[in-house]
């Protein structure tokens, strides 16, 4: 395998996912991995899950998937997120709930580790909330040289070696050096939070050892309209 696409945090945004999958289709990608939070916030959870399955996307479980299955955990969310999850839950078929319950909290593929949050046990842990010392300590515990994480909706690269940690902006293709280890924050398809309207995802060229962020335009106005029509909190339309 030469190339793998990493998508994350679709959040029931069917228009963004459709545009991203179209972009992926032109990139000679052999495999697609989703880092979870395929549902929540947005208007089309069922259509998103059906699309992922029809494109043979391998997915892990995010904190929104876990909350759909666990009411006590869901109560830790803010009221807007709970409202959105409750509306999402009503739109999901029994087979989609079964699919969500089948998802694992981590994946190892081609020597890389794929997570939603900062570990398989902390799927709602934000990597940017860790101090440099905490990040270095956590990286040392991970056997994989390359780790992809989601959850933050941001693009960022954390590079580790025996001299310490470097945090890198992730706006263009970056080479992954053999003598360093990496945690790669893969952005968000459905609700990016870096000040632009495009859906974001990452291409990992395994053979060339590079990672590249992709920025994909889509009709976010249409998604915003559907969010309002579905009775979801308006904040999730405005943030697009």
CATH number for the domain harbouring residue 93: 3.60.21.10
Q: What is the mean pLDDT of the chain?
A: 94
Q: Are 109 and 4 in contact (CB under 8 A)?
A: yes
Model confidence at 131: pLDDT above 90: no
Confidence of residue 36 (pLDDT cuts 50, 70, 90): very high
Which domain does 124 fall in, by range? Answer: 3-238
Q: Report pLDDT digits (tens) over 52-71.
A: 999 999 999 999 999 999 99
Q: Report pLDDT digits (tens) over 174-205.
A: 999 999 999 999 999 999 887 789 999 999 99
What tokens were used for 9? 């945090």
Model confidence at 120: pLDDT above 80: no
Model confidence at 162: pLDDT above 90: no
Q: How many domains does the chain have?
A: 1
Whole-number pLDDT of residue 135: 85
CB-side exposure of 188: number of CA atoms within 13 Å?
Answer: 26
Helices 45-54 & 14-25 angle (0-180, nearest 10):
20
Q: Report pLDDT digits (tens) over 69-109.
A: 999 999 999 999 999 999 999 999 999 999 999 999 999 99
Stretch 143-154: mean pLDDT, rounded? 95
Confidence of residue 223 (pLDDT cuts 50, 70, 90): very high
CB-side exposure of 71: number of CA atoms within 13 Å?
Answer: 1
Confidence of residue 219 (pLDDT cuts 50, 70, 90): very high
166 or 128, higher pLDDT: 166
Q: Are 31 and 5 in contact (CB under 8 A)?
A: yes
Model confidence at 121: pLDDT above 80: no
């Amino acid at each position: 395998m030469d190339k793998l696409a990493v998508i994350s945090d679709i959040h029931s945004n069917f228009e963004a996912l459709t545009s991203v999958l179209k972009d992926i289709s032109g990139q000679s990608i052999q495999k697609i991995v989703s880092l979870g939070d395929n549902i929540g916030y947005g208007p089309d959870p069922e259509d998103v899950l059906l699309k992922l399955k029809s494109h043979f996307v391998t997915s892990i479980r995010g904190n929104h998937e876990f909350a759909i299955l666990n009411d006590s955990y869901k109560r830790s969310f803010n009221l807007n997120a709970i409202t959105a999850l409750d509306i999402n839950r009503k739109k999901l078929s029994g087979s989609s709930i079964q699919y969500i319950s089948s998802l694992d909290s981590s994946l190892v593929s081609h020597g890389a580790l794929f997570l939603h949050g900062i570990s398989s046990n902390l799927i709602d842990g934000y990597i940017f909330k860790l101090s440099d010392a905490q990040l270095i300590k956590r990286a040392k515990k991970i056997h994989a040289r390359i780790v992809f994480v989601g959850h933050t909706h941001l693009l960022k690269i954390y590079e580790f070696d025996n001299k310490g940690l470097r945090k890198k902006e992730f706006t263009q293709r970056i080479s992954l050096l053999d003598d360093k280890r990496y945690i790669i924050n893969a952005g968000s398809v459905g609700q990016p939070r870096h000040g632009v309207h495009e859906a974001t995802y990452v291409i990992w060229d395994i053979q060339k050892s590079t990672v590249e962020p992709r920025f994909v335009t889509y009709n976010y106005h249409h998604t915003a309209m559907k969010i309002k029509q579905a009775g979801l909190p308006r904040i999730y339309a405005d943030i697009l």
